[in-house]
Amino acid sequence: METTTALTADVLVLGFGKGGKTAAHALTDAGKRVILIEQSDEMYGGTCPNVGCVPTKMLVHYSTSKRLEDEAQEFFANSIEGVRALTSAFRAGNFDALDGKETATVITGAARFVDPHTVEVGEGADRITVTAPTILINTGSEPVVPDIPGVKDSNHAVSSTDLTRTGTLPRKLVIIGGGYLGLEFASIYRHFGAEVTILEAADRLLDREDDDVAAVAADILRGDGIEVVTGARVTGVTDAEDVATIAYEKEGREYRVEADAFLAATGRRPATGGLNLDAAGVRTTARGAVVVDEKLRTTSPHIFALGDVNGGPQFTYVSLDDARIVLDQLLGAGERSTTDRVAVPRTLFITPPLATVGLTEREARERGLRIRVAREKVADIVAMPRAYTVEETRGVMKFILDADTDLILGAAILSIDAQEIINTIALAMRQGVTATTLKNAIYTHPSSTEALNEVLGAFVA
């Protein structure tokens, strides 16, 4: 006879990502009974510490630490072992920190809704049902596999997860797609010693950024020895025993490139398949994103969606802010919403990194704003000796300023420490600090932030 274990909770969380685990911890600390269901025991803590931010940025560090005398394959294998050790420790720590709480339980398995308040996990004698008055969906996103002949069946196709866990360095790596994910892995693997080719369908890389900033980034990548092919439409992949051949078209001509491994970095989509959201009355978009309002409630008001699954910006720190919004609904005044977000920065971790916030020059001019543009190459910034002390003078800094108010409308920082500088700029934008105030501020020396003393006065337009 088939038996089912029936559990109840005050709050049920589906997915162990940043938003879900942050909310779960706060709710248990507030005395709520919380059950969190995670599909995979390899993903406790979510994408970031397991297959995303932590392993990739650790690989950035390792790859740029490689010395000329280091044998490429051995150095790479040792680096991957270092990544595995850290991610394993983080994974175990995330599990123990939550499951070890008296009022929290972590269940491993794929969840699916059976009604608006209940999900089930497992089948047969192992079937568990969990019922709760409040449910948080935090199942993240998954890679989009492009509909290109030969891609799905190729033995040489690798995922972003593979590239953070596999200890064999490919001699030739081809990356289909020049977005953030593709460019980061291209930079990482090139610095480890692989031959890397990027095939990007658009006419140039980083088409969201201004032409001048994108051109400097492309020059840096090419200068590192990465072959960048723009305007390339991949038409098919053919396997041989040792290599895959990727065929593409450019300007009416056909080309081929061989690779030991290739990554299809063509975007990610919300991971909602298998949740049976119809049974919960939760509506999704055509791309599978859970439809939410500005307070992250779904079409079933007792169900919230946090992180990548709701179709918002795919950043860990946005998922964290999603948790703050939901917690304000459940434990606070219920006033916070996604409309509160101003000047949310982002960073592309190539070497050196590119960090941006706010409007580009192009966007500001399209809006008809009166602007001033301050721009300077990193190599020319006298007030930033740190770039010379760490032997990384490539890049550019650019600011878009409101000509009437002197407020910062946007910035693009392509330089050493860009991921840190951008946070200061974003905070200034949120607090209404003028460009002149930032320019005349006192910064430590030698630091990258003190570049603001000079660049904010280097007007070009």
**Amino acid occupying residue 100:** G
What count of other Cβ atoms lies within 10 Å of the Cβ of residue 112? 15
Buried residues in 213-240 as b, exposed as e (16+ CB within 10 A) = bbebbbebbeeeebebbbebebeebeee
Going by C-alpha positions, the residue among 398, 394, 443 that lies closest to residue 415 is 394
Q: Say how many residues make up the chain.
A: 461
Contacts (Cβ under 8 Å, ≥6 apart) of 439: 452, 453, 456, 457
Judge whether 239 and 232 are in contact, CB under 8 Å.
no
Residue with tokens 């209404």: 432
Tokens for 333, please give them: 């005044």
Catalytic residue from among 61, 117, 156, 445: 445
CB of 234 closer than 8 Å to CB of 255: no
Instruction: For 224-279, give the DSSP string.
Output: TT-EEEES-EEEEEEE-SS-EEEEEEETTEEEEEEESEEEE---EEE--TTS-GGG
3-state class of 407 per DSSP? strand
Q: In terms of DSSP bridges, do strands 11-14 and 134-137 run parallel, antiparallel, or are they unpaired?
A: parallel
Query: How, if at all, do strands 227-230 and 244-250 pair?
Result: unpaired
Report how far residue 322's alpha carbon sits from residue 316's, in angstroms, rounded to the nearest whole number.
10
191 given a catalytic annotation: no
DSSP 8-state class, residue 370: -
Task: Name the nearest CA neighbour of 97 among 158, 36, 151, 141.
Answer: 36
Residue 25, both tokens: 């911890």
CB 296 within 8 A of CB 326: yes
What residues are annotated to the active site? 445
